[in-house]
């Protein structure tokens, strides 16, 4: 019989297993748990949106001519003939839901989510074809205070993850619509005057997305991009005042920031604040969290003119920066001394778990083998089931602690958690338990 070949994992995906000190999953879970805790401090409600949407949702939000839409989206025709796309980002789906589900009634709406996203791009360090992001949005708030709150929340998240050292918040303004239009015209004139010095990609961007030339990584573009005019000369008074309120709010909250006049967003619906938290600890992929104000997006999707601001952060990239968290180990491992005590051991384990204790119980093996497994798991204590005679007033259990300082505390905790008939526990003086543990003299 021919050997069955196991299918290989798809390129750009990853499998994660928790429970070991080397496990990336532990870091990943730590990032998600910290995000959930921090977003609650700021009153952000959890939101869920579909993993796939009508392709039009992303084509309109990301722009038909962008690389994400033209090269990177996982798009397919379903059996009903509709064009469907796996979500490459969260904001478009949340914005679509804001319109179609009538969430305008809750504005200003503060929502947060996390989960998998999909882009067909070249896998590299910290970047996958199925990747995961944290996402936070405030929809329906035109005030600069919304931008400040999101940035302060992001700063606190990075601090609580312990990765703020070496991470810098860079900030820019894209102005209001009038400011942006005037600046865009000035940039086109500047780049047209130096067309011959630009890379092929930047010449292609010149008419459809000239702002992206400013952050081009091609060394041929840098002299022309660096000499291009900044937006400051084209800001309206209203736009300048908005940016001043954002920066003064950050100062008041004690959040450090730096101005980056070359930080842009190419799509026309972006307004005012654009920001990135960057680090040099991830090589070329230096942005760990980024976002901005997108006051025109919901209108682009057919909804009413609605101000909004948000950010996203790659969970994998954040997890690469955090220290390995402490691995969770069982409080107690329950070991039946004989096979006929198996059901009693299950009953005891269930009672302890219902009282919030982390309990391990092996599925097979004699007592000696189960003790070896308990030691390997890092269990803090072993609870021996020694007598299951239900006609007696008490059940004699033997608890052997690995740490004498914790023994009394654990004994009392176990007694409080068990049903009333379990009222006797013996400890280090139990010779039979010592013999099983290999502690006999």
Q: Residues 70-92: pLDDT tens digits?
A: 678 999 999 999 999 999 999 99
| 289, β-bridge pairs | 277
DSSP calls for 43-65: TPEE----SEEEHHHHHHHH-TT
pLDDT tier at 151 (50, 70, 90 boundaries)?
Answer: very high
The pLDDT score that the predictor gives to residue 344 is 85
* CA distances in angstroms from 24 to 15, 18, 161, 317, listed in the order given: 9, 7, 15, 11
Q: Rounded to whole angstroms, how far apart are CA atoms 307 and 310?
A: 11
pLDDT tier at 302 (50, 70, 90 boundaries)?
Answer: very high
Q: What is the pTM of this model?
A: 0.85
pLDDT of 189 higher than 60:
yes
Q: Residues 318-374: pLDDT tens digits?
A: 998 998 877 788 888 888 888 888 888 898 899 889 888 888 888 888 888 888 888
Residue 7: CA count within 13 A, CB half-sphere: 3
């Amino acid at each position: 019989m021919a050997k069955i070949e196991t299918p290989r994992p798809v390129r750009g995906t990853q499998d994660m297993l928790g429970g070991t000190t080397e496990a990336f999953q532990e870091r990943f879970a730590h990032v998600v748990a910290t995000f959930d805790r921090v977003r609650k401090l700021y009153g952000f409600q959890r939101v869920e949106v579909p993993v796939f949407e009508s392709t039009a949702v992303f084509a309109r939000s990301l722009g038909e001519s962008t690389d994400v839409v033209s090269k990177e989206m996982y798009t397919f025709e379903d059996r009903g003939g509709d064009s469907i796309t796996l979500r490459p980002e969260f904001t478009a789906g949340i914005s679509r839901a804001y319109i179609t589900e009538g969430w305008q009634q809750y504005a200003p709406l503060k929502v947060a989510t996390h989960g998998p996203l999909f882009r067909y791009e070249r896998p590299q360090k910290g970047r996958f074809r199925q990747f995961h992001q944290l996402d936070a949005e405030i929809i329906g708030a035109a005030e600069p205070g919304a931008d400040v709150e999101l940035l302060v929340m992001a700063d606190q998240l990075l601090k609580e993850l312990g990765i703020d050292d070496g991470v810098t918040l860079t900030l820019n303004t894209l102005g209001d619509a009038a400011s942006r239009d005037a600046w865009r015209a000035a940039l086109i004139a500047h780049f047209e005057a130096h067309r011959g010095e630009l890379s092929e990609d930047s010449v292609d961007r010149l008419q459809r997305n000239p702002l992206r030339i400013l952050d081009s990584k091609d060394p041929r573009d840098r002299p022309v991009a660096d000499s291009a005019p900044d937006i400051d000369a084209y800001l309206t008074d209203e736009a300048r005042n908005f940016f001043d309120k954002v920066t003064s709010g950050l100062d008041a909250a004690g959040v450090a920031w730096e101005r980056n006049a070359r930080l842009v967003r190419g799509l026309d619906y972006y307004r005012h604040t654009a920001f990135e938290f960057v680090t040099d600890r991830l090589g070329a992929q230096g942005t760990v969290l980024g976002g901005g104000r997108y006051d025109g997006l919901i209108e682009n999707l057919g909804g009413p003119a609605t101000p909004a601001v948000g950010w996203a952060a790659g969970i994998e990239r954040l997890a690469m920066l955090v220290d390995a968290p402490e691995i969770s180990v069982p409080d107690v491992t329950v070991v039946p001394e004989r096979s006929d005590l198996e059901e009693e051991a299950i009953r005891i384990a269930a009672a302890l778990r219902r009282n919030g204790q982390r309990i391990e119980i092996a599925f097979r093996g004699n007592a000696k083998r189960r003790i070896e497994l308990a030691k390997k798991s890092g269990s803090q204590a072993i609870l021996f089931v020694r007598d299951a005679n239900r006609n007696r007033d008490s059940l004699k259990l033997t608890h052997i602690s690995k740490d004498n300082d914790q023994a009394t505390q654990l004994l009392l905790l176990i007694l409080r958690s068990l049903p009333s008939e379990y009222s006797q526990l013996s400890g280090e003086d139990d010779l039979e338990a010592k013999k099983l543990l290999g502690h006999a003299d």
